[in-house]
Structure 1
């Protein structure tokens, strides 16, 4: 599919219906998280592939915030074969099929594997997971959904 910014994420199997905000790489060298003041907001890495375009599109969302559960609370429950739909600004819907859902330690995150470009349209959904570290005020792990484009059609 040609490049087009995402506007809405829909994952029916876990009741996700959320708008997008663009994200950048922060001063830490890692992808910034979406603003925590909106628990139903997802972000996409604006300097990478847009969803449906050749390359790996990266979408991040919170599992929870200080106010309660957030958009990706149930992300870790997705299974291979589940569908993820992303409506784009051009009106087309990029549909992705989940390949695997994996959990990685933030201390040993496999960036090359998660972000690599294999020449096809790929999607990665990322959120926090594992145990919560009260001292660090952060989760110890990341949950990553690996998915590939199965169709692109008019919405």
Structure 2
């Protein structure tokens, strides 16, 4: 998968107006739910694109980049385990393959998500963090906006990342697809 640089530590924040200048968060009729205490995520469900996948813990590789799940587990997604757990204050990061040599993988249709779609993250504590998609963006790997993607706002946010763009036999995919979502409910 390759591409994006390392996520920041869970406590990193970004300027309050950094993301607002790029996209607006949709109006929510109800008050935002209370953030959840830390708990490992165990499953991600995205009904709009048919995703129902187990989650594994991910770390950084020797170059400081987020490792994707192993290619021999194309149906798995993973989360950056040293970062924010989904539903807690900050930016949680999940990643998965677009495809592998065996065919389409867990996030094959991630770029088809649209604003307003729902994402459910089941957690080890038995609760489900419910997110709503705010935006879907594609970034060239050489212009990946680390601060925007990984930076936190203090509220529970989620980023889903996979490869995107054109394929090059020499370098792989030339872009990354990033889904931005905000916690809108707890189940």
Aligned mate of 2:78, from 43, 52, 60: 43
Cα shift readout 1:59-90 (whole Å, capped 9, x = no counterpart): 00000001000010100000000000000000
Deviation at 1:135, TM superposition (A): 1.3
- Structure 2, unmatched stretches of 5+, are 1-35
Which has the larger share of strand?
1
Alignment size in residue pairs: 152
Larger RCO: 1 or 2 (CA < 8 Å, sep 6+): 2
What is the CA–CA distance in structure 1 between the aligned matches of 2:78 and 2:51, rounded to whole Å? 14
Using the size of structure 2 for normalisation, the TM-score is: 0.80
Cα shift readout 1:115-150 (whole Å, capped 9, x = no counterpart): 0010000000000000011012x1000000000000
Deviation at 1:30, TM superposition (A): 1.1
RMSD over aligned Cα, in angstroms? 0.6
Deviant stretches of 4+, over 4 Å? none
Name 2:25's counterpart in structure 1: none
Aligned mate of 1:90, from 117, 125, 148: 125
Match status 1:22 vs 2:57: yes
What is the CA–CA distance in structure 1 between the aligned matches of 2:105 and 2:152, rounded to whole Å? 29
Q: SS in structure 1 opposite 2:84?
A: coil
What is the CA–CA distance in structure 1 between the aligned matches of 2:139 and 2:62, rounded to whole Å? 22
Using the size of structure 1 for normalisation, the TM-score is: 0.97
